[in-house]
Amino acid sequence: MTLTKLSEIAEPTDRFETVTPEAEYRLLGMRSRIGGPFLRETKRGIETSAVRLNRVESGDFIFSRLFAWQGSFGLVPAHLHGCYVSNEFPLFRINLDRAVPEYLVYWFGLPQVQKRVEADCAGSTPGTRNRYSEKHFLRLSLDLPSVSLQRGIVSRIQSVANRMDEARRLRQEIQDDAKALLHGVFHRLIQGAAYRPLAEVAPIVRRPVAIELDASYEEIGIRSFHKGPFFKCVSLGADISHKAMFQMVPGDLVFSNIMAWEGGIAVVRPEDQGRIGVHRFITCIPRPGIADAQFLWFYFQTKQGFEKIVAASPATIARNRTLSVKKLEAIEVPVPTYDRQEAFATLQRKFSAIHQAQAANQPELDALLPAVLDKAFNGEL
């Protein structure tokens, strides 16, 4: 089979328009792993720094210069026709007499092709600043069978990909149903419950750590969006001795005072035993027999509870919101009977186990498509 250069079948195209201040522009982003384009946001011209934007049309082949090394290639679907991209997203029209556009997208998903793309990337810093140029794209060559054979290969890949999408959809449905069920149970649980200040049921307790210069310490971090704690790093005492550090104990309800407004709230896990955190982490210890940490954490994920956190985090600019200790202590939380809180915490743990089991299988699902592509292009599918 004769190798075909992409320059023979892909024609660079542009439809640049001068940005008008009052016009609205639907702007696209690109997913990695040949996930294709998506609607990122809608902005008026006055809200963007761009002087010109490129209008896309259905069927355009598109890639991200910045993230090509991560597999950011795809086709513009019909529902995104008429959206816009910056010049960081080159566009091409594919010669349909010689190539099936979907065939090219799947070809870029092959691990060996991704390595070639990554090797051609260039930039001033590693990773996200490595740009992939049109010249490198157009000089790539591939085995291009007849259009009918390309369609057959695409059909077989899409058949498997559709089943994978269905598995992801069912997985997401399970997670959404579990979340809805938990919220429903929670709201029934707090109906008629008394509300008490957080300081009464889970007072702030700080445990200062005397840092030894030659000792090593495991640090904890807190993710935003209520995604819980994580092991951050091991630090040498000499490197953190200038910081005020505090002991984290499993069962503590922890608030990041600078990111609580963005969901930086968590419960310290059993595996975090012995770890420490910076002074920005505010630890509250639920009173035994009165409040459960998991129950309180869930309350702060509800609309009502989270609004109280945001209100207790005043700011003059969006990214500078600091949680007030006094306002945190004054937040009133629902306090149903302790046995009901414990029962809800048990339900939370069951759903968490399901979620963790799904997350553990995610790498296998992610690795399935490249394997399918490899078999398909080798005639084994």
Q: What is the residue type of 136? A: H
Q: Tell me if 323 sits within 8 A of 255, measured CB to CB.
A: yes
Cα separation, 132 vs 69, in Å, equals 8
At residue 36, the pLDDT reads 94
Nearest to 300 by CA among 328, 272, 280: 328
Superfamily of the domain at 3-144: DNA methylase specificity domains (3.90.220.20)
Q: What is the residue type of 95? A: N
Q: Tell me if 237 sits within 8 A of 213, measured CB to CB.
A: yes
Burial tier of 96 (Cβ tally within 10 Å: 0-12, 13-18, 19+) = exposed
Q: Which CATH number fits domain 194-334: 2.40.30.10, 3.90.220.20, 3.20.20.120, 3.30.460.80?
A: 3.90.220.20
CATH 3.90.220.20 location in the chain:
3-144, 194-334
DSSP letter at 31?
A: E
Q: Which residues of 28-52 are buried (b: 16+ CB within 10 A; e: fewer)?
A: bebbeebebbeeeeebebeebebee
Nearest to 75 by CA among 54, 93, 55: 93
At residue 374, the pLDDT reads 83
What share of residues in the chain are helix, strand, coil (percent, to 5)? 40, 25, 35
List CB contacts of 116: < 8 A, sequence separation 6 or more.
140
Q: Take residue 44 and report the two structure tokens written for it.
A: 């008026």
DSSP letter at 19?
A: P
pLDDT in 10s for each residue of the chain, 381 residues: 579 999 999 999 999 999 999 999 999 999 999 999 999 999 999 999 999 999 999 999 999 999 999 999 999 999 999 999 999 999 999 999 999 999 999 999 999 999 999 999 875 454 445 789 999 999 999 999 999 999 999 999 999 888 888 888 888 888 888 889 999 999 999 999 999 999 999 999 999 999 999 999 999 999 999 999 999 999 999 999 999 999 999 999 999 999 999 999 999 999 999 999 999 999 999 999 999 999 999 999 999 999 999 999 987 555 678 999 999 999 999 999 999 999 999 998 888 887 777 776 777 777 778 888 888 888 887
At residue 318, the pLDDT reads 52
Cα separation, 41 vs 380, in Å, equals 41
pTM higher than 0.85, yes or no? no
On the CB side of 208, how many CA atoms lie within 13 Å of its CA?
4
Cα separation, 93 vs 59, in Å, equals 7
Q: Take residue 254 and report the two structure tokens written for it.
A: 């922890």
Cα separation, 36 vs 81, in Å, equals 14
Cα separation, 338 vs 189, in Å, equals 11
At residue 317, the pLDDT reads 59
Q: Take residue 147 and report the two structure tokens written for it.
A: 């259009």
